[in-house]
Amino acid sequence: MRIRMLTGVAALLTSALSTSAFAEDRVLSIGGSITEIVYALGEQDRLIARDTTSSFPSSVADLPDVGYMRALSPEGVLSVDPTLIIAEEGSGPLETIQVLESANIPFITIPDGFDRQAVATKIQAVAQALGVPEKGAELAAEIDAQLAALDTSVDAPARVMFILSTQGGRIMASGTNTAADGIIALAGGTNAVVGFEGYKPLTDEAVTLAAPDVIVMMSRDGDHATEDADLWAHPAISTTPAAQTQSVVRINGLLLLGFGPRTPEAATALHSALYDEG
Amino acid sequence: MAVVEAGSQFASRQAGDRSGRAMTVLIGCAILLVVMMMASLTVGASGTSLFQALMAWASGEPIELRERVILFDIRAPRTLLGALVGASLAVSGAVMQGLFRNPLADPGLVGVSAGAGLGAILAIVLGGLLPPALAVLTGMYTVPVAAFVGGWLSTILLYRVATRKGRTSVAVMLLAGIALGALTGAVAGLMVYIADDNQLRDLTFWGLGSLAGATWAKLMVAGPLIVLALAATPFLARGLDALTLGEATAGHLGIPVQRMKNIAILTVACATGASVAVSGGIGFVGIVVPHLLRLSVGPSHRYLLPISALLGAAFLLGADMISRTIVAPSELPIGIVTATIGGPFFLYVLLRNRSLLDM
């Protein structure tokens, strides 16, 4: 009991001494890529909770989950007692953010983006929020160098179609201005679907017309062999060059689309999947 | 005048004289509601307790900012809004069932919910296209305001369609409501098609309903409308009772049938529009609560309407407490809770009381 009291006093003293250095703060990270950046910066000990989309590294599963990033509940967030919230762009809702602000808890939103520059910007913004800008500059430079060093030049870029889901036989594919579009470009491919922005269901004829050489999907638990068989049996997909060569690449969604410190890894993995085995 | 007296006596005799029992249930539900409201202020994802905070305050200690925000800015408006929304959903259901003389009627059927839902969906997906001046005006309340306007517009439209020569046909309104539901479903589908993936998530969460966004500002907007609607319902009770005998008979009994229908429809539009606007799509309360009560206090609206309000409020507060603690610090959408508890329970009650339910 006495020891606990002493540690309590010691903690109070340290927190009083270092309030400006952010050393004792309790950080809530909202957004899978934000959490990855916190870990990559070596600041994971300051994390006290995460959102549902934060699933890497696997040890984050031990932290309490405050829910989906766009449907945060104000009391749920307050119950983990954060002193700093770092959130990916699009987190909310606004009502929750306003209540958190009225409780004097800083809520820092990190801008999103889907190219090489965006990764560095994101890392630096998170580091800035954590009060470790030097570490951030270092990590950003390192990741940027890795991205710059990627040799993705190829004679004939592959036409790639990213399929988000095939629910009920309806192909939901990525157009432009998405994370999928960004990573395809980084990996040296061409997005085969360019008529629209975001993720949209495609008609069968549009799938045929897009004529992808390779299909990219998010991997999930389960039997991929059956899923592949279903994919090639899909009438529209069966007409594509990808079906002829049975070229499908499955990569973990957060790794592939996160645009964080693992993006060089994702781009390398996608690049080699697109070209080495082709 | 004598005819009117005879009429209401007839109606209440038909219901069986369960006044004594109804009074007991009424008081029981009122006590339950008070308990639920206290519990709702005390239960939550964080350990903050109302009583501890009050005790600390009484002993002269200042309440911490975090505690104050949780109690007064999060739980207090949420509790009040939950009670009002629950009451309004249950009463709207009871009034609709009486008006349409149909046990399946609820605000979803007269197109109020559908219209409100469509308004919300349009705001979520197309909100970014609003002229900046209007967007600044409505701000974060664009979705609730659009939901309310949608609910109102669809009610007025249906009402116009169903009213001919000053007489509103309940059957036409019911059918037109279904047609409007199909139309709003189509437009909603179109919006889902053009929505980006973030908006899609918002649509899903909105559809399942939540009281998580409760703020004093929302309460100030929706509260008066719901209170006004609830205050109007006692005046409907006698009319709805007479209506169980059919419109013509109710007219002969001296009930101003057309005026009563007007008031009933306005009341439901007001209460449902405001509720859906602030809490999204919370299903099932409007069906379960009135039916449960009919089994215990009988069909007389004199008791059914006020007790529905009390029990609906208590039920929604209970569901909300589960929704915000069961997966804490995260939150389960309340529509999932109301349907998971309400569905099986209602089925059980139905099985036990099948013979009583032929209304």
Could you read off the pLDDT of B116-155 as tens digits, one per residue?
Answer: 888 888 888 887 676 665 655 556 677 777 888 888 888 8
Phi and psi at residue A86, in whole multiples of 5°?
A: -115, 120
Q: Do A199 and B196 touch (CB under 8 A)?
A: yes
Which has the closest alpha carbon to B287: B349, B244, B342?
A: B342
Residues B110 and B140 sit within 8 Å (Cβ to Cβ): no
- CATH number for the segment(s) B2-357: 1.10.3470.10
Q: Tell me phi and psi for residue A217, to 5 degrees.
A: -135, 165
| Percent share of chain A, pLDDT over 70 | 90
Smallest Cβ–Cβ distance between A70 and the set B45, B75, B198 belongs to B198
ipTM summary value: 0.74
Q: How confident is the model at residue B11 (pLDDT cuts 50, 70, 90)?
A: very low
Q: Using a CB–CB cutoff of 8 Å, tell me whether A96 touches chain B.
A: yes
Burial class of A209 by CB neighbour count within 10 A (0 to 12, 13 to 18, 19+): middle
Q: A170 — phi, psi (to 5°)?
A: -95, 125
B331/A71 CB distance under 8 A: yes
pTM: 0.80
Per DSSP bridges, beta strands A84-88 and A47-50 are unpaired
Q: Does the distance separating the beta carbons of A68 and B201 come in below 8 Å?
A: yes
Answer whether A104 sits within 8 Å of B140, measured CB to CB: no
Instruction: Reply yes or no on whether the pLDDT at B3 is more than 50.
Output: no
The DSSP secondary structure of A123-170, one letter per residue, reads HHHHHHHHT-HHHHHHHHHHHHHHHHH-----SSPPEEEEEEE-GGG-
Q: What tens digit of pLDDT does each residue of B176-190 get?
A: 888 888 888 888 888
Q: What is the mean pLDDT of chain B?
A: 83
Confidence of residue B161 (pLDDT cuts 50, 70, 90): confident
Q: Is the pLDDT of residue A38 over 80?
A: yes
> What does DSSP assign to residue A57?
S
Q: What is the largest CA-CA distance in chain A?
A: 74
Q: Give the start-end residues of each E strand in chain B.
A: 163-164, 167-168
Instruction: Please determine, for residue B87, whether its predicted confidence score (pLDDT) is greater than 90.
Output: yes
Q: Which residues of B touch A81 (CB under 8 A)?
A: 46, 66
- Please state, in angstroms and rounded to a whole number, the distance separating the CA atoms of residues A251 and A274: 12
Closest CA of chain B from A154, distance in Å: 32
Q: Which residue did the predictor score with more confidence, B134 or B75?
A: B75
At residue B47, the 3 state secondary structure works out as coil
Residue B69 with chain A: CB contacts under 8 Å: 78, 99, 102-103
Instruction: Give the separation between CA A193 and CA A211, rounded to whole angstroms.
Output: 9
B-chain residues near A66 (CB < 8 A): 329-330
User: Where do we find the tokens 């569901």?
Assistant: B319
- Which residues have CB under 8 Å from A43's CB, separation 6+? A27, A130, A132, A135
Q: Any residues with CB less than 8 A from the CB of B26 and at least 6 apart, and which?
A: B297, B303, B306, B307, B310
| Domain spans of chain B, in order of start | 2-357
**CB distance from B127 to chain A under 8 Å?**
no
Tell me the chain A residues in contact with residue B66 when contact means C-beta distances shorter than 8 Å.
Answer: 78, 81, 103
Q: What is the set of domains in chain A, with CATH numbers?
A: 18-148 (3.40.50.1980), 159-275 (3.40.50.1980)
Contact B89, B286 (CB under 8 A): yes
Q: Which of A110, A111, A124, A106 is nearest to A40 (CA)?
A: A124
* Residue carrying the six token digits 């008529």: A195
Average pLDDT on A4-10 reads 49
- Reported as a pLDDT band with limits 50, 70 and 90, residue A241 is very high
- What average pLDDT does range A156-169 have in this prediction? 88
Report yes or no: B247 and B57 within 8 Å, Cβ to Cβ.
no
B69 touches chain A (CB under 8 A): yes
Phi/psi of residue A93, nearest 5 degrees:
-75, 175
